[in-house]
Structure 1
């Protein structure tokens, strides 16, 4: 399912469960094919494949419930392959040591995470002993070509229910400098028809961002008629006034996390595309250092900020992937969108 900023545009291409010996090879082929499609040179394609093989092999041999997410990132002239490795494995006691040349976190390829971070243009590793590890790595088509692919203030990730190839959850982001607008949609049901509903929400969001979250949500409601419909939420983060204006329809969970506390935001009952008798907006404070989280009901809401340690000081994508791993326990499509805005 597509998740996007005004630019770059991010698409979740595949979510691969690493549950047998063939999975790392499949992940390598998916990532390599995507890199070739995006115009990477043969040498750069091979580098992406090496890194994905290392990550996939590590997950297969030493992790529980490992998953590899392969994503495309596109701007006007630049493109990148993004890979997210998530597991419930034993964790890494000393991440810095695992990144050193010649070290192997798994004893597999003998090069460890150091190879992944050297080959990637941007990467992050978050690990907790006994809980698992999240690794993110972005590979540009041309090394160092990051001018059009800046670090994002917000990032999302989706995972389809087991047995489906596409996820019915979708998200979108638009960074307007002093404002950051977020949209999360949970298309009703699963599979292609649910994904179609979410895609209608994403298209409507990008077609017209005029007005506030209530106006945007109203247009999305109209655009989703003729689809299965779904739950939708829109948040407008004013980075100068440090406020969030929020409008939700249905069961998208949303909160502001700040100072070790989680403040839930209010959605009203309804189904976008079918029933929206009342669309209301609510205002919330956005303290310095706050993180805003939106997620579908594929993630349980029963989590507290105080028990997450230093997670909310990490990159947006690391936060999103960790929440998906730890809270995405329901047998359902799952999607989470995280914004970690800063004052500019």
Structure 2
């Protein structure tokens, strides 16, 4: 089941809550004592920055696959820490990311510290719209000398953000991305309802994906339909990218949204009515579209408004996919109008050339 720690940060008392949540999440991720301390420090610094510079916000901690760049070598889980705010933004991000820089009477160690000790760290900020800071601390990404393991040579990478309704312990949504040979499959499942029973259904969909990632989307949904019969059922969308032929196959059942960006144009990919595990359409067509070096795929559960707007600042293909997902969630909500359901956004994007070894 998908366990997520969602901690609102609107006063100084919540900074301790963030640290406690980070330590609990790190233990569940299987981090060593040193990496747990690093994760707790990153989460604390980001929570402190939310109060100092963002006017408050939220810290979302989630356990994700460390192998988000899909090179096929298992490297264990990672703890993902996202700080999201609707504050004034950071006018000079390059300066703010350096140790010693501060616009307040502090030591200025926040973002620089996070960048130095996290295995991955990225910040996206737009003045007047807010900031997303995202870090990942890996359970097994360093060699015996303590050096970071080089990145992937894969042409694509995946990422996502999962926010449970009302800061619940479990999200009824789940997403995963798995590579099998030249095929990369991104799945998003939304279990019916909320809480642990919904999380059980979406979690079962993810487990089935890991067993059947070689199947095309329509066939995989057939497997999922049989595998989810003992659960509440779920809405599920599946997209499979063929790296060799550069095309994307898509099929979905239920209210999972999907949009594909190619160049400057967004197009919807349509799912069909039904509930995986309870009511499957008699015929499930599978659509095929080209995948280009500037393509980007977004899948989202119905916690996100159906008329969400793409990120206002281009190009999102250059960002970490999880940052893109968090920006979409941030910009579709507000401090006065929070998310209205379990809300998950999963993104598949090309890997920038400068991130390939």
- TM-score bucket (shorter structure): 0.7 to 0.9
Q: TM-score, normalised by structure 1?
A: 0.88
Equivalent runs, 1:114-129 vs 2, <5 Å: 114-129=112-127
State the 1:99 CA deviation: 1.3
Contact 1:261–1:305 (CA under 8 A) maintained in structure 2 = no
Task: Using the TM superposition, name which of 52-61 and 68-77 deviates more.
Answer: 68-77
Aligned to 1:52: 43
- The residue that corresponds to 2:215 in the other structure is 211
TM superposition shift of 1:46: 3.0
Distance 1:50 1:32 in 2: 10
Q: Distance in 2 between matches of 1:133 and 1:27?
A: 18
- The CA distance in 1 between the partners of 2:285 and 2:350, in whole Å, is 24
Look up the match of 1:94.
92
- Where in structure 2 are the equivalents of 1:25-44 lying within 5 Å? 25-36=16-27, 40-44=31-35
Residue number in structure 2 paired with 1:6: none
Alpha-carbon distance, 1:104 to partner:
2.5
Aligned residues: 335
What secondary structure is seen at the aligned counterpart in 1 of 2:165? coil
Q: 1:184-212 CA deviation, whole Å, 9 max, x = no partner?
A: 11111111111111111112211223431
Cα distance in 1 between the residues matched to 2:119 and 2:126: 24
CA contact under 8 A between 1:106 and 1:112: conserved in structure 2?
no
Question: Retained in 1: the 8 A contact 2:184–2:242?
Answer: yes
Deviation for aligned residue 1:267: 0.8
Question: Any idea what the Cα deviations from partners look like across 1:230-264, whole Å, max 9, x if unmatched?
Answer: 21111111123221111010111001112121110
Q: Are residues 188 and 37 of structure 1, via their aligned partners in 2, closer, same or farther at CA, if it must alter by over 3 Å? A: closer
Q: Which residue of 1 aligns with 2:294?
A: 289
Structure 2: distance between partners of 1:330 and 1:71: 17
How far did 1:148 drift?
8.8
Contact 1:256–1:286 (CA<8 Å) still a contact in 2? no
Confirm or deny that 1:185 pairs with 2:189: yes
Q: CA deviation at 1:87?
A: 1.1
Change (3 A) 1:265 1:37: closer
Residues 124-163 of structure 1 aligned to structure 2 (within 5 Å): 124-141=122-139, 142=142, 143-146=146-149, 153-162=157-166
Which residue pairs with 2:5 in the alignment?
14
Q: Using the alignment, how far apart are the partners of 1:150 and 1:64 within structure 2?
A: 39
1:57-86 C-alpha deviation (Å, 9 max, x unpaired): 111343256111223356656554331111
Distance 1:34 1:241, change over 3 A: same
Cα RMSD over matched residues?
Answer: 2.6
Aligned to 1:331: 340
- Seen in structure 2, the aligned counterparts of structure 1 residues 149 and 245 have a Cα distance that, compared at 3 Å, is closer
Distance 1:44 1:306 in 2: 33
Contact 2:119 2:135 in 1 (8 A): yes
CA distances 1:143-162 after superposition (whole Å, capped 9, x unpaired): 43436999970012211111
C-alpha distance in structure 1 between counterparts of 2:306 and 2:108, whole Å: 40
Instruction: Identify the range of structure 1 (62-71 vs 195-204) with the bigger mean alpha-carbon deviation.
Output: 62-71
Q: Deviations over 1:122-163 (max 9, x none)?
A: 211111001111111122455434369999700122111115
Aligned to 1:8: none
Q: Secondary structure at the match of 1:332?
A: coil
The answer on whether the counterparts of 1:303 and 1:327 sit within 8 Å (CA) in structure 2 is yes
Q: Helix, strand or coil: the match of 2:350?
A: coil
Structure 1: gaps spanning 5 or more residues = 3-11
Q: Distance in 2 between matches of 1:28 and 1:149?
A: 31
Judging changes above 3 Å, is the alpha-carbon distance between structure 1 residues 91 and 245 closer, same or farther for their aligned structure 2 residues? same
